[in-house]
């Protein structure tokens, strides 16, 4: 099966106007790829469906806004992929 990074990059390319080849592990979803909050909602919806999880976007955003987590932790592609893998693993462990 494709890696979480590849699956997320494919979703972003399909959901937004960003060419797939522009999406690298070091891409910042907002700063580098120019995804706005509304497009990000569509992407999260697609990720939720594809991975069978509920990406906690509200909690992430709150942490970033409160300064308790750097935005890169959630919005740089390789880190986003890691967070998604963690959510999938947590769901499997709890199943």
Partner 1 sequence: MRLEYFQMIDRVRSVDAEAIAAEAVVPDRSPVFEGHFPGHPLVPGVLLVETMAQASGYLLLHRFGFARMPFLSGVKEAKFRSFVVPETRLEVSARLEHDGSGYAVTKASIVADGKRICDAELTFRTLPFPAPELEAAMRARAARIGLPGQAPP
Footprint of partner 1 (CB under 8 A): 38, 41-42, 44-45, 48-49, 54-59, 61
Query: Which is nearer to partner 1, 20 or 49 (by Cβ)?
Result: 49
Query: Which is nearer to partner 1, 22 or 54 (by Cβ)?
Result: 54
Q: How far is the CB of 57 from partner 1 (least distance, A)?
A: 5
Q: How far is the CB of 38 from partner 1 (least distance, A)?
A: 6
Query: Which is nearer to partner 1, 38 or 95 (by Cβ)?
Result: 38
Q: What is the DSSP string of 40-68?
A: HHHHHHHHHHHHTS---HHHHHHHHHHTS
Q: What is the DSSP letter of 24?
A: -
Q: What is the DSSP letter of 21?
A: G
Q: Angle formed by the axes of helices 77-94 and 4-15, to 10°?
A: 110
């Amino acid at each position: 099966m494709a890696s979480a990074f590849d699956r997320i990059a494919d979703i972003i390319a399909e959901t937004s106007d960003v060419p797939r080849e522009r999406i690298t592990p070091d891409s910042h979803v907002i700063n580098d790829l120019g995804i706005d909050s509304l497009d990000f909602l569509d992407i999260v919806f697609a990720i939720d469906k594809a991975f069978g999880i509920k990406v906690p976007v509200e909690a992430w955003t709150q942490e970033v806004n409160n300064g308790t987590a750097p935005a890169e932790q959630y919005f740089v592609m390789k880190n986003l992929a890691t967070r998604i893998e963690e959510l999938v693993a947590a769901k499997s462990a709890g199943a």
